[in-house]
Structure 1
Amino acid sequence: MRCLLIDDDVPTVEVLRDIVRWNDYGISQVVAAYNILEAKTCFDDGAPDLIICDIEMPRGSGIEMIQWVREQGYDCAFIFFTCHESFEFASTALTYNADSYLIKPLDERKLEEALLRSVEALKRRRTLGEYSKHGLTWLRNKDLVEKSFWSDVLTSTLSTRPDLIQEEILRRDLPFSANQKFTLVLISVAASEIDEHWNASVFYYALSNLGSEVMFDRPNPDRVIPYKQNNQIYHAIIIDGGTDAQKLKANGERLVRLCRQYLKCVATCYISEEKNISELAQCKAELEQTNMSNLIFRGIVHFQNDRFQYDTTETYALDTQLYTMLFAQKDKLQIVNRLKNTLERLAAQNKLDAVTLHLVREDFLQVVYAFLAQNNIQAHRLFSDDVAERLLQRSDHSVFDFMKWAHLITEKTIETLKETLQSEGVVERAKRFIHENYHWDMSRDDVAASVFLTPDYLSKTFKNETGMSIIEYLNAHRIEMAKRMLVERPVSIGAVATETGFDNLSYFSTVFKKLTGETPNAYRAKHKPDH
């Protein structure tokens, strides 16, 4: 298909070219025009399938453009955008069968939704046009006609006015009326959990057939609408009103079980209340929102009014000290396994809602960023690639997605640190050992052993490079840590001495005064926050 962009603002046209993944909508060619006259000449090479057009331009308006297109008999999908909301503009645009009316600045998500609706509606119009020409084909493909109707209903392509819905039903010669009620059954499968050996189109086909057979006891593809949104593969199934709720639940449970058995995936089933056709699109959106908030009650059947019972009486906080220690030990397996066990325990206790998963993610990121900063590694460069960004965006969708993201972050963090350590000189590695272990009893021999050198050789090298002996450097670092503790923590001087590696309070005070010119008590009094 071919798309024509019309706007007198060149940057807007360039942005549209760049931000839209045109191939996803079946569009292989995008051409641009900067006024109406120029746009009309583009039709010399054939009419475009889709036109995206500004309304207000100095050399002819978008309304004039769509009027000309319709007068020429061209069947193009049409999306308008403008800087100003105007009922007059919008109503005129709809009169000429415009598909969407967007307000600048363009919202990328709304633009993508408008593109999808417009392209799908164009395909259906053209299909229906073929049916109109060939009555026999219409009859033989009645299921496709009905499928397109339900797709239009669920994507809000059709009006929600009952009289207009009834007109559309009559136009398509469908065997029901606008005042009938229906139940929406929504099947959800996380795309990230689907076996990698599945071809996407084959999986859609298999799940559609399975859903049709289970819910209708026969193939009925015109009532099964598959689509993908927010990393979720959905199948919306339209059931006639009056169907027994317990039968629907039993069929849903059977479908979930068969998905696990044959498709090797975890499917979750949501069953709506009975709704008018005009209410089904909103109902679908509500069930999708319910699914996005469902982290642990998956693989089962839920009715629309069910509420997930989470125990959130206490806010959960990750043990950041533990994970800081595990990162310092470079123990990737322990980090990932402890995270997994923590989430599984919270899920088993019904404490893992979307908010809690988000808090765990933020606590874990805090540990990672602090650890990287301590080791002079820039996090934004480490995690700015497409894979890391995509996994981060999906990490709050499910425990599975969270663990994929956490595994990547842990792997990158520790492997980058190892590479950094390998590139460091011997003195830098000795300093790092001191920084990581200063609170323990430590000698010159311990430091030398950490870098696999003799004490005498390391001492000489260390002194030449830093101007200090190993023990002088160790004491200086300990005093720096002690100064921070004296200001930030309300603990005794003895506790500060012990936690910074001094086993003798008198010696600690002597070294402290020698390096700072003040006693520990005087330093605290001088630098405490309320001073």
Structure 2
Amino acid sequence: MRCMLIDDDIPTVEALLGIVNWDEFGITEVQTAHNIQDAKQLFENGEPDVIICDIEMPRGSGIDMIKWARDRQYEGGFIFLTCHESFSFASKAISYDADSYLVKPLDKQELEAALRKSMDTLKKKMMMGEYSKMGLAWLKNKDVVERGFWSDVLTATLSPRIHLIQSEVQKRELSLSVHTEYILFLVSVPRSQIESEWDESIFQYALSNLISEILITEVSLGRMIAYQVDKVFYNAILIESPLDKKWLQDSAENIILMCRQYLKCTATCYFSEKTAVSGLSQVKTELEQLDESNIIFRGKVHLPNEPFHYDITDRFTLDMELFTLLFVQKEKVQIVNRLKKELELLTSLNKLDSTTLHSIREDFLQVVYSLLSRQHIQAHRLFADDVTQSLAQKADSSVFDFMKWAQALTDKTVDSIKEVLQSEGVVERAKRFIQENYRQDLSREDVAASVYLTADYLAKVFKNETGQTVKEYLNDFRIRAAKQMLIESTASIGEIAMDAGFDTISYFSTVFKKLTGETPIAYRSKHKTAR
């Protein structure tokens, strides 16, 4: 076999020639090139079986080289080298079917492992090459046909009745028995658990390839079905029973490890019980529902009949008074940090199930809506943008998604309230203070202090703008509140007077009659009768 080394750094090429025992891998000839142009010329004189190539070179990148080679139907191995991790390079390398992606300085064991993987892949391709072109096409087509069959079974496109399934098996000329029981192995990766730079189609392709490489010795490609539900990537694998359960669990743990290491994402694996073909669609739905309810047990292998163990003996209640105070004080960082600590504590105690997370969300929304209502801000308009709507839809799916939503909600709420308050003049702020504190024993000095003015100056400004004195406005607002209480409550006149901020019933009655033209008792009698 022949290998080609491509790197503009001559010492690196010399080092590679020396550290690898090429004979061990069956490589008898190693060619070297220091730029893409020379490499292409060597390539055209005779294709190498494997190429080890630096990605970043001044006269053409390694991506250019693999694209050029793949365009010429080159099916040999390709190992990339780079001085630093680059997501864009890695994703392109995956799309061109590179075997490995190694970061310098090179580790001898990693390089040899990558070479061994390339050689194994190459041998499989050579074995496949022993089939005729027609035979190879048939094999590929067989996987496509079988994958289509299983996809129809899992989505209930096919009727679950055995004789109809059997008819479909015969029609598609598949070699399987409808009486065999299968284990459904489901691999889940939520979109929120992968790096944002990933293109969804490339990620799904990379995830499917990784899973198939791990399982291919025991499971045919025709029984691996990749699909997406909302923002979750799934791979459903049909495993014919019986199969070594330890091998299955080890394979699932390997998938989780490889996803974390190479795709930088969190995968979760679920296994069903042995199930007849007719029941697979229902089982798939149940596993997806299990995944949807999984808030804190991600990145693990979940075996059948092993439910998530939540401690829900004491349901958690959000401290709404505390969060209201933090919002009033406009402490955005403290709001988010306090919420994050609460969720982390619940997670550590296994108390954060989907019901608890949803109730925390509802309580948090209640705090926000109450504050916005006081400021006359319409929540449905404030949160109508696509980004906030998208975050809201995913908020119940994980702690990470919940915190992204809570952060966005907090920022918008606090910033909007600040904007409203800053736009108010001195008189409007004085009115707001009166409206929020009218039940208290308020003096003109108290109101002036709330807007940082002297009492005399506020009195002058207030009278000029409203036509009322501060005291008149205060009494007017108190009487409006009292009128509502007289109609809607059964409280006594004395209780209403006190609740509206008046010291005595007599003074309340005097002010009430002056402003309304009738006594509190007469007003209540007339309006309660009218209702």
> TM-score range, shorter-chain basis?
0.5 to 0.7
> Residues of 1 paired with 2:269 and 2:245: CA distance?
13
Deviation at 1:158, TM superposition (A): 2.5
The separation in 1 between residues aligned to 2:205 and 2:199, in whole angstroms, is 10
Asked if 1 retains the 8 angstrom alpha-carbon contact of 2:391 and 2:405, the reply is yes
Is residue 435–residue 477 contact of structure 1 (8 Å, CA) maintained in 2? yes
Cα pair distance change 1:460/1:307, threshold 3 Å: same
Structure 2 equivalent of residue 230 of structure 1? 230
Structure 1 counterpart SS, 2:258: helix
Does the CA contact (< 8 Å) of 2:224 and 2:235 recur in 1?
yes
Structure 1 pair 221/437, CA: closer, same or farther in 2 (3 Å)?
Answer: farther
1:160-180 deviation digits (Å, cap 9, x = unpaired): 233333343344443432222
TM-score by length of 1: 0.63
One-letter amino acid of the counterpart of residue 162, structure 1: I
Q: Is contact 1:259–1:265 with CA below 8 Å preserved after alignment?
A: yes
**Matched ranges for 1:50-449 at <5 A:** 137-217=137-217, 220-436=220-436, 444=444, 447-448=447-448
SS in 1 for 2:413: helix
Percent identity between the aligned chains? 54
Q: Which amino acid aligns with 1:430?
A: A
Q: Distance in 2 between matches of 1:446 and 1:469?
A: 14
Measure the CA separation in 1 of the matches of 2:247 and 2:436: 63
Distance (whole Å) between structure 2 residues aligned to residue 440 and residue 334 of structure 1: 30
Shift of 1:516: 5.3
> Are the aligned partners of 2:182 and 2:240 in contact in 1 as well (CA < 8 Å)?
yes
* 1:268/1:301 contact within 8 Å kept: yes
Amino acid in the other structure paired with 2:200? A
Asked if the contact 1:209–1:221 (Cα under 8 Å) also holds between the matched residues in 2, the reply is no
Kept in 2: contact 1:181–1:275 (CA 8 A):
yes
Q: Distance in 2 between matches of 1:347 and 1:481?
A: 46
1:456-485 deviations in Å (ceiling 9; x for gaps): 332211123334444665677689889999
Cα distance in 2, alignment partners of residues 262 and 438 from structure 1:
63
Distance 1:516 1:348 in 2: 58
What CA deviation, in whole Å up to 9, does each residue of 1:378-409 have, x standing for no partner? 22222233333333232222222222222222
Letter in 1 for 2:301: V
CA contact (8 A) 1:213 1:220 kept: no
* Alpha-carbon distance, 1:443 to partner: 6.3
Once residues 403 and 267 of structure 1 are traced to their aligned partners in structure 2, the CA distance between those partners, rounded to angstroms, is: 20
Cα distance change of structure 1 residues 511 and 263 upon mapping to structure 2, 3 Å threshold: farther
Partner of 1:313, secondary structure, is coil
C-alpha change, 1:481 and 1:401, in structure 2 (3 Å) is: farther
Distance 1:346 1:489 in 2: 44
Partner of 2:458: 458
Asked if 1 retains the 8 angstrom alpha-carbon contact of 2:296 and 2:347, the reply is yes
Ranges in structure 2 where 5+ consecutive residues have no aligned partner: 1-133, 524-531
Deviation at 1:511, TM superposition (A): 6.6
Q: Indicate how the Cα distance of structure 1 residues 480 and 153 shifts in structure 2: closer, same or farther if over 3 A, else same.
A: same
**Structure 1 contact 212–218 (Cα < 8 Å) conserved:** no
Q: CA deviation at 1:414?
A: 1.9
Q: CA deviation at 1:430?
A: 2.3
Partners of 1:514 and 1:321 lie apart in 2 by 37
Q: Compute the TM-score of the two structures, normalised by the length of structure 2.
A: 0.63
Output the CA distance in 1 between the equivalents of 2:425 and 2:244: 74
Q: What is the CA–CA distance in structure 2 between the aligned matches of 1:330 and 1:208, rounded to whole Å? A: 46
Pairwise CA distance, 1:291: 1.2
Residues 229-238 or 461-470, more deviating:
461-470
Deviation (angstroms), 1:148: 1.9
* AA in 1 matched with 2:364: F
Conserved? CA contact 1:475–1:511, under 8 Å? no
Q: Is the 8 A contact 1:209 1:219 kept in 2?
A: no
Distance 1:159 1:208, change over 3 A: same
| Structure 1 position 203, deviation (Å) | 0.8
Number of matched residues? 392
Q: Which runs of 5+ in 1 are unaligned?
A: 1-133, 524-531
| Residues in 2 aligned to 1:485 and 1:298: alpha-carbon distance in whole angstroms | 53
- Call closer, same or farther: CA 1:256–1:159 in 2, change over 3 Å: same
1:34-45 matched pairs, under 5 angstroms: none
What is the deviation of 1:288? 0.7
Partner of 2:90 in structure 1? Answer: none
Helix, strand or coil at the partner of 2:186: strand
Pick closer, same or farther for the CA change 1:323–1:461 going to 2, 3 Å: same
Go from structure 1 to structure 2 and tell me whether the alpha carbon gap of 1:248 and 1:325 turns closer, same or farther (over 3 Å shift).
Answer: same
Deviation string for 1:343-396 (max 9, x for gaps)? 222222222222222222222222222212111112222223333333323222
SS in 1 for 2:384: coil
Alignment of 1:26-41 (within 5 A): none
Query: Cα gap change, 1:292/1:328 in structure 2, threshold over 3 Å: closer, same or farther?
Result: same
Once residues 270 and 189 of structure 1 are traced to their aligned partners in structure 2, the CA distance between those partners, rounded to angstroms, is 12
Distance 2:483 2:322 in 1: 24
* 1:159 aligned partner, one-letter code: S
In 2, Cα distance between equivalents of 1:136 and 1:344:
53
- The 1:474–1:345 alpha-carbon spacing in structure 2 relative to 1, beyond 3 Å, is farther
Question: Is the 8 Å Cα contact of residues 219 and 239 (structure 2) preserved in structure 1?
Answer: no
Would the alpha carbon gap of residues 195 and 436 (structure 1) be closer, same or farther in structure 2, given more than 3 Å must change? farther
Q: CA deviation at 1:195?
A: 1.2
Secondary structure in 2 matching 1:141: helix
Which amino acid in 2 is paired with 1:348?
S
Counterparts in 2 of 1:478 and 1:400: CA distance versus 1, 3 Å: farther
